[in-house]
A = this chain, B = another copy of it.
Amino acid sequence: MKSYLECIPCFFKQALRAGRIATDDEKILKRLMDELGTHLPRISLESTPPETGRLIYRMVAEITGNPDPYRELKREATEQALARYPRLKRTIEDSDDPLLAAIRLAIAGNVIDFGANASYDMDKAIREALEKDFAILDYDAFKSRLKRSGKILYLGDNAGETVFDRLLIEQIDRPMTYVVRDKPVINDATYADGVAAGIDRIATIVSSGTDAPGTILATCSPEFRQMLQNCGLVIAKGQGNYEGLSGEKREIFFLLKAKCPVIADNIGVETGAIILKGINLN
């Protein structure tokens, strides 16, 4: 997905949000805004938002001297989610359709996103995702692919959300590779965040090689790119993965909450909508 003009004010908002977590020195923060401003003519709207996100978080790291401002928030989000894990596990088991309940909860976890949101209410998100109608639900296609696919690739999104992904992975109960970002960027899940959520016990965790807050193939490792081509089923969580991969030619199932109006508009749903959307279904 390309960027829209409306993404530009949001780039500054995101940079400021991350900057404020890294430092409270207003002069440094103004310099961060100024550098992003000066760089703006070199940011093309043809690039995807996570490509610019990558650049922004590099600027934040360089200018504030803090390469991982979200570290503590990521730890907290994972802890909060783990505390809810036993209850959510029972919710899935008690459900009439445990797979769909697990999908709903995986989407609930997608609110833990400090790129798109300043704050979130995890319990409210859980209640909503369990009850809300899907705006797009390619469930039959998803189930039929699950049956016939050998290798499954699950592209993770944020730390803490990882715990909700774990519930879905456990429910699917098939050999799976869980993909994380290579380096810290916003609150996106890295290898350590996957392990903290317990995903290493049920799936193979691999890095996509990227340090962008989304799957930007040009920044991913050749190994990951090959994996993406060869696997039978791709489940991609969250906005960053959608933005990076929505133009790909292969079949991908996107699982997300459309938190930002630009992405919602691009998908053709209302802001706040929950979706399981398959592209290039055949």
Q: Which residues of A contact B (CB under 8 A)?
A: 5-6, 8-10, 12-13, 16, 20, 26, 29-30, 33-34, 36-41, 45
Task: Summarize A's interface: helix, strand, loop or mixed.
Answer: helix
Once the chains bind, are B26 and A16 in contact (CB under 8 Å)?
no
Once the chains bind, are B5 and A9 in contact (CB under 8 Å)?
no
> CA separation between A30 and B44, bound complex, in Å?
9
Once the chains bind, are A41 and B45 in contact (CB under 8 Å)?
no
Contacts of A16 in B (CB 8 A): 5-6, 8-9
Once the chains bind, are A13 and B5 in contact (CB under 8 Å)?
no
Q: Which of A8, A20, A36, A39 has the most CB of B within 10 A?
A: A8
* Copies of this chain present: 2
Known contacts A5-B33, A37-B40; A26 and B12 CB within 8 A of each other: no
Contacts of A26 in B (CB 8 A): 5, 45
Once the chains bind, are B40 and A41 in contact (CB under 8 Å)?
no
Selected from B5, B12, B37, the residue in CB contact (under 8 A) with A30 is B5
Selected from B8, B9, B30, the residue in CB contact (under 8 A) with A10 is B9
Which residue of chain B has its CB nearest to the CB of A33? B8
> CA separation between A45 and B37, bound complex, in Å?
15
Report A3 CB to chain B, min CB distance, Å.
10
Report A141 CB to chain B, min CB distance, Å.
35
Contacts of A29 in B (CB 8 A): 5
Ordered by A's residue number, 8 sampled pairs between the chains whose C-beta atoms are within 8 Å are: A5-B26, A5-B30, A8-B16, A8-B33, A9-B12, A9-B13, A34-B41, A38-B40
Contacts of A37 in B (CB 8 A): 36-41
> CA separation between A40 and B9, bound complex, in Å?
13
> CA separation between A18 and B40, bound complex, in Å?
19
Q: Which of A5, A26, A37 has the most CB of B within 10 A?
A: A37
Report A184 CB to chain B, min CB distance, Å.
23
Contacts of A13 in B (CB 8 A): 9
> CA separation between A38 and B8, bound complex, in Å?
13
Which residue of chain B has its CB nearest to the CB of A20? B5
> CA separation between A39 and B40, bound complex, in Å?
11
> CA separation between A10 and B34, bound complex, in Å?
14
Extra contacts besides A5-B30, A8-B33, A34-B40 (7): CB < 8 Å: A5-B16, A8-B12, A9-B10, A36-B37, A37-B40, A37-B41, A38-B41
What 10 A-B pairs have minimum CB-CB distances, sorted nearest first?
A37-B40, A37-B37, A9-B12, A9-B13, A34-B41, A9-B9, A8-B33, A34-B40, A5-B29, A8-B12
Contacts of A6 in B (CB 8 A): 16
